[in-house]
């Protein structure tokens, strides 16, 4: 079964950045996503949406999304506004 790992990074609290005491991450099975969200994931790895805009706005979050395909990890970063709700919903916050 294929899974997608999701990590929220950046923002005012600096989630996931070096020195941060906050980590926000999760994972979900691709099969648990709706067909539309599965298509979004596949399309995003073909041509990452907004890859140039990721991190350009101050104090905004982006999401680092990682999948394993053919035995290799593939990672993209996507602005928060472009990430489907189902992927955001799998993320939980942890104080380190």
pLDDT per residue as tens digits for the range 58-93? 567 899 999 988 889 999 999 999 999 999 999 998
Structural tokens at position 26: 């999760």
At residue 65, the pLDDT reads 96
Closest CA to 8 of 53, 47, 66, 56: 66
Residue ranges of domains in the chain = 3-95
Predicted local confidence at residue 52, as pLDDT: 44
pLDDT tens for 7-50 read 998 877 667 677 777 889 999 999 999 999 999 999 999 986 65
User: Global pTM?
Assistant: 0.81
Chain mean position to CA 94? 16
Question: 29 forms bridges with which residues in the sheet?
Answer: 3
Distance CA 60, CA 77 (A): 13
């Amino acid at each position: 079964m294929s899974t997608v790992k999701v990590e929220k990074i950046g923002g005012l609290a600096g989630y996931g950045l070096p020195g941060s005491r906050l980590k926000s991450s999760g994972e979900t099975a691709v099969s648990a996503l709706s067909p539309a969200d599965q298509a979004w994931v596949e399309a995003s790895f073909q041509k990452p949406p907004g890859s140039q805009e990721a991190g350009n706005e101050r104090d905004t979050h982006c999401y680092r999304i990682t999948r394993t395909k053919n035995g290799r990890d593939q990672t993209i970063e996507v602005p928060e506004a472009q990430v489907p709700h189902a992927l955001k919903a799998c993320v939980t916050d942890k104080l380190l």
